[in-house]
Amino acid sequence: MRNLCLVLFFLLSACSDDSPFDAVSPSPVVLDPQNISTPQFHESVNYLSDDLKTIIFTRSTREFDESAIYSATFEQGKWNLPEKLPFSNSNYDAGFSLSPSNTSAFYTSKRDPNESMLSNEWNIWRVDYGSDHKWGEAVVVPPPLNSQGEECCLVINKDGQVFFSSNRDGSWDIYEAEFSRAGFSDIRKLSAIVNSENGEWPAFINEKGNLLIFSSIRKTGLGGDDLYFTRKSQGAWDAPILLDSRINTQSYEDSPLLSNNDEYFLYSSSRDTPFSKGVSNIYVVLASDYISE
């Protein structure tokens, strides 16, 4: 297996000055067809390094009976062959978010937590990345972050601001928390300005903590999951804005992500195209026409 340091995060340099997004335009295009995005599997983006040359994404079978987390690096003008991360085994795994120190990651899994206080379905798990450039053993995050309900879709920024989704109150809603070396604290559900009775799943929080992008199935959308964003002003989240029909379609859109310089917007869509039908692929587009100040 390729040395795992290619996967990660300390991201000091790359082997080429080429950018993987030189040809990106205001119109969404499939990211790296036949290699990262495929016509056989569902793919959704989870992480993009600050230098834009390491991507981590979820790949699932057509029927969603298997799912794992992969990484690829951009070298010598192209994305290399994606590799499954070693902690992502035969269980159903999805999503990926780094801790502020880059020494651990959080993801969602259906693996058995062996914990009576937790759900046997979706839980949030943690895996550490050591100074030896090796992954440790995955461990389930204890309550109160996980609960007897289901949890998924944790995202975290470098200030330790955390957002995740839980159905602990009967419907899938977005919750906020704080992260420190002691763990997760101050867990609270976002207000009805953001949450609805139709379900919400966060996917991106910016470093300033004032831009949240999420997916939701609600009547204001165009069909299936649609992408919304909300900004925090004067300490409160504004009413969510639906991204327009160049991004959202009658199919499913989810897993949005902004690059660190706010230049590129990546997301997953299951729209039918000549390239693929019936699966979700990763798309990339210039962000300025869609996520504006």
**Residues 246-279, buried b or exposed e (16+ Cβ, 10 A)?**
ebbbebbbbbbbbbeeeebbbbbbbbeeeebeeb
Q: Output the pTM of the full model.
A: 0.91
Whether the Cβ atoms of residue 134 and residue 149 lie closer than 8 Å to each other: no
pLDDT at 132: 85
pLDDT at 14: 38
> Could you give the CA distance from residue 114 to residue 61 in angstroms, rounded to a whole number?
26
Nearest to 78 by CA among 21, 37, 28: 21
pLDDT at 291: 84
pLDDT at 269: 97
4-286 placed in CATH 3.40.50.2300 = no
Per-residue pLDDT of the chain (293 residues; tens, 9 = 90+): 444 444 443 333 334 458 899 889 899 999 999 999 999 999 999 999 999 999 999 999 999 999 999 999 999 999 999 999 999 976 799 999 999 999 999 999 999 998 888 998 999 999 999 888 889 999 999 999 999 999 999 999 999 999 999 999 999 999 999 999 889 999 999 999 999 999 999 999 999 999 999 999 988 888 889 999 999 998 999 999 999 999 999 999 999 999 998 999 999 999 999 999 999 999 999 999 888 65
